[in-house]
Chain A
Amino acid sequence: MRLQTLSLPEERFKPATDQKPALHVRDLTVAYDRKPVLWDVDLDVPPSLVAGIVGPNGAGKSTLIKAVLDLVPHASGVVEIFGKPYRRQRRLVGYVPQRESVDWDYPITALELVAMGLYRKIGWCKPVTAPHRCRALEGLAEVGMAALAHRQISRLSGGQQQRIFLARALVQDAQIYFMDEPFAGVDAATEKAIIAILQRLREQGKTVFVVHHDLESVRHYFDYLIMLNMRVVAAGPVADVFTSENLRRTYGGRLTLLDRAVDAIGQGTH
């Protein structure tokens, strides 16, 4: 009886598409100026989980996301979302770019920024109307920013800016999210808000990919981990792949101290 009630919400939120991997990548290679940045990336990530993407600087973490989203040209490779080519599944995909990638002096308010997540739903050439603004306000409320809806975006703190970026992705109502370093340089309140959002998205059966830097929090935030250094060093459930051997292969000789630190953390949690 108890088991049944527990499994009910999961049934309800399970997307019809979950027979196929949420993200399937085969032989993806990306090169800038003939210099390869990503080599032969193969991935099959099941749906309904929060996946971290970690690796040293220049490992191609952001590039992987951008290549999946067709924002950088691929030299080769196939990308499928729930079993179909990305281009046919765009409406299922939400994207949170790096905070530094936009000009925060741009003359718009927090609410207008969040409403951008609805532009596909609104359609070409149609204006943003009252119901859309209501939805955007709900999105802001979900990240605890409703009070600052009408503030110009340059007058928000870094953490607040990150939160409205997330609110914009939430109102997109996607099935699969790609977030580029959402935890970079945020305050404790924002970190908490982001973790709560990841938790909620997972409960709703969504799949979330997060480019991440802080190895210490990997075990707490993610179910699944992609360890990247130009190639996929390891990918799988965190418990299986987050090992000192894989860390050494990902970070090379550069982080021996870190290796030991992670070992210590590993021992603590097991």
Chain B
Amino acid sequence: MILWTSLDTWIVVAGALAGAACALVGAFLVLRKTSMMGDAISHAVLPGIAIAFIMTASRAAGVMFIGAAIVGVITALLVEVVRRYGKLEHGASMGVVFTVLFAVGLILIERAARHVDIHPEHVLYGAVELVPLHVVTLAGFELPRGVAVLLVTLIVNLTVITALFKELRLATFDPGLATTLGINATAMHYLLMTLTALTTVAAFEVVGSILVIAMLIVPGATAHLLTRRLLPFLVVSVVVAVMAAFLGHIAAIGIPPWFGFEDTSSSGSMATVLGLLFLLAFLAAPEQGVIARGLNLAGLRLSIVTQDALGLLARAAEDPQNPDAGLSFADFCLVSRSPFTARAPALTVALLLLRLRGQVSASGNRYRLTARGRAEALRVLRAHRLWERFFYDDGQVELDELHAAADLLEHYTDAGLRNALAERFAGQSTDPRGRRIP
């Protein structure tokens, strides 16, 4: 059983606020294809925080934010400078800049940590479990300090993104046009980097740098699989992040006891849940998921094999000597010129489907067209021979290659196209080899 206390509520609220704030800016990083800039900045702000602390001897949120924002913009600038003048690709340039800044930050914090309670390990894992311990008063309510800071950050992000929604959309989609329209894409880029730096600092004290990166990138990546419009994209990103916070904490306190362990780090568990949510979208997204694509492909293959089988039966029925002989299973494999249809498992499924539809009957071990099947089979044959006529008359394809070309196209020919083809060859009733076009 899970024992839920107000402590747990605050942890989930802090995680959800951090997630929502990160997901909002992260969505634009993902769309701009600069996701790893989030990674770079979230690490690089560390010296900013440390220097701000050393200079002012204060851990006030405002001071930290200013330090982080400055270093965030400096990081973005440095990455650009190193890339351009160091002749490096973007990823390498980020790698150079953020690892150095992060290391400097760690050293500074270690020096400072002798006097205060910033610990290097909190930088990595965060301290979401400690969130409820520091309480402040915001607009008359008593809130944990971390939650208050994140709430303000989320409101800032929401305000900026709502106000500049169309400007951000244009600057992230087409920076060139944005600049000619007076929306300076470079300025928008640095605005986004500043927001990323602020959000990172606010979130990272609570949830640690790994979860910050996960919350910046994974919700956007998941939304990319699920939506095709920008507003739903942002909404899905935020929902995914909030779900991960909630489910992650439940998993952290609920699952380890099953195996007889103490409960585990909530932020680690939240990041894991984010990964699982992405995996779910990756597999089961309605259009772009692996399963949906697999089913689509399988459906297409099956429809091609069933149409081929009908076509083969229709050709067999044209034999003047023995129109009712039908084909045996082995005949299909022998007669078919499409390697696909000649494969036994595909053919078995296709013939089963045709029998279920009542288009093919089986007696003995021979398959024959039913009246209903005959109509459909003639449509396939008609498309095939019209295409042969088309290619032959245009002189584009040799007689030997006609069949393959027509075979490909007959499966993609609907009634409209079939009639258009028929109109074009109104006077002709045979294909190039003199067989009747049904």
A97 touches B176 (CB 8 A): yes
Chain A, range 90-143, C-beta contacts under 8 Å to B: 90, 93, 95, 97, 101-103, 105-109, 112-113, 116, 119-120, 122, 124-125, 127-128
Please give, as numbers and ranges, the residues of chain A lying within 8 Å of B114 by CB-CB distance: none
B173 touches A70 (CB 8 A): no
Chain B, range 25-44, C-beta contacts under 8 Å to A: 31, 33
B166 touches A107 (CB 8 A): no
Please give, as numbers and ranges, the residues of chain A lying within 8 Å of B167 by CB-CB distance: 119, 124-125
A119 touches B173 (CB 8 A): no
Q: Is residue B319 contacting chain A, with contact meaning CB distance below 8 A?
A: no
A66 touches B176 (CB 8 A): yes
Q: With A and B bound together, what is the CA distance between A21 and B149 in angstroms?
A: 57
Please give, as numbers and ranges, the residues of chain A lying within 8 Å of B227 by CB-CB distance: 107
Chain B, range 175-234, C-beta contacts under 8 Å to A: 176-177, 179-183, 224, 227-230, 232-233
A102 touches B166 (CB 8 A): no
A95 touches B180 (CB 8 A): yes
Chain B interface residue count, CB cutoff 8 Å, equals: 27
Query: How near does chain A come to B231, taking the closest CB pair, in angstroms?
Result: 9
Known: A90-B182, A106-B31. A71 touches B176 (CB 8 A): yes
Q: A101, A106, A108, A127 — which one has the most chain B CB atoms within 10 A of its CB? A: A106
B166 touches A128 (CB 8 A): yes
Q: Is residue B324 contacting chain A, with contact meaning CB distance below 8 A?
A: no
Q: With A and B bound together, what is the CA distance between A172 and B174 in angstroms?
A: 15
Please give, as numbers and ranges, the residues of chain B lying within 8 Å of A106 by CB-CB distance: 31, 172-173, 230
Q: With A and B bound together, what is the CA distance between A69 and B229 in angstroms?
A: 30
Query: How near does chain A come to B312, taking the closest CB pair, in angstroms?
Result: 34
Of the residues B33, B165, B179, B228, contact of A107 by C-beta under 8 Å: B228
Please give, as numbers and ranges, the residues of chain B lying within 8 Å of A33 by CB-CB distance: 84
Of the residues A71, A103, A122, contact of B166 by C-beta under 8 Å: A122
Contact code string B227-247 (vs A, CB < 8 Å = 1, else 0): 111101100000000000000
Q: Is residue B330 contacting chain A, with contact meaning CB distance below 8 A?
A: no
B176 touches A107 (CB 8 A): no
Of the residues A70, A97, A105, A127, contact of B165 by C-beta under 8 Å: A127
Q: Which residue on chain A has the smallest CB distance to residue B31?
A: A106
Please give, as numbers and ranges, the residues of chain A lying within 8 Å of B169 by CB-CB distance: 108, 112, 116
Chain A, range 1-48, C-beta contacts under 8 Å to B: 33
Q: Is residue A152 contacting chain B, with contact meaning CB distance below 8 A?
A: yes
Query: How near does chain A come to B200, taking the closest CB pair, in angstroms?
Result: 24
B228 touches A93 (CB 8 A): no
Query: How near does chain A come to B99, taking the closest CB pair, in angstroms?
Result: 26
Known: A71-B180, A103-B33, A125-B163. A109 touches B229 (CB 8 A): yes
Please give, as numbers and ranges, the residues of chain B lying within 8 Å of A66 by CB-CB distance: 176
Known: A107-B31, A119-B181, A125-B163. A101 touches B173 (CB 8 A): no
Q: With A and B bound together, what is the CA distance between A95 and B227 in angstroms?
A: 29
Query: How near does chain B come to A165, taking the closest CB pair, in angstroms?
Result: 9
Chain B, range 1-36, C-beta contacts under 8 Å to A: 31, 33
Please give, as numbers and ranges, the residues of chain A lying within 8 Å of B232 by CB-CB distance: 107
Of the residues A69, A116, A127, contact of B174 by C-beta under 8 Å: A116
Known: A93-B180, A128-B166. A101 touches B228 (CB 8 A): no
Q: Which residue on chain A has the smallest CB distance to residue B87?
A: A33
Q: Is residue B164 contacting chain A, with contact meaning CB distance below 8 A?
A: yes
Please give, as numbers and ranges, the residues of chain B lying within 8 Å of A152 by CB-CB distance: 228-229
Chain B, range 134-176, C-beta contacts under 8 Å to A: 163-167, 169-170, 172-174, 176
List 25 contacting pairs A-B, 8 Å CB cutoff, sorted by A: A33-B84, A69-B179, A95-B177, A97-B174, A101-B176, A102-B174, A103-B31, A103-B33, A106-B230, A107-B229, A107-B233, A108-B229, A109-B228, A116-B170, A116-B173, A116-B177, A119-B166, A119-B167, A119-B183, A124-B167, A124-B183, A125-B167, A127-B165, A152-B228, A168-B177
* B interface residues with partner A (beta carbon < 8 Å): 31, 33, 84, 163-167, 169-170, 172-174, 176-177, 179-183, 224, 227-230, 232-233
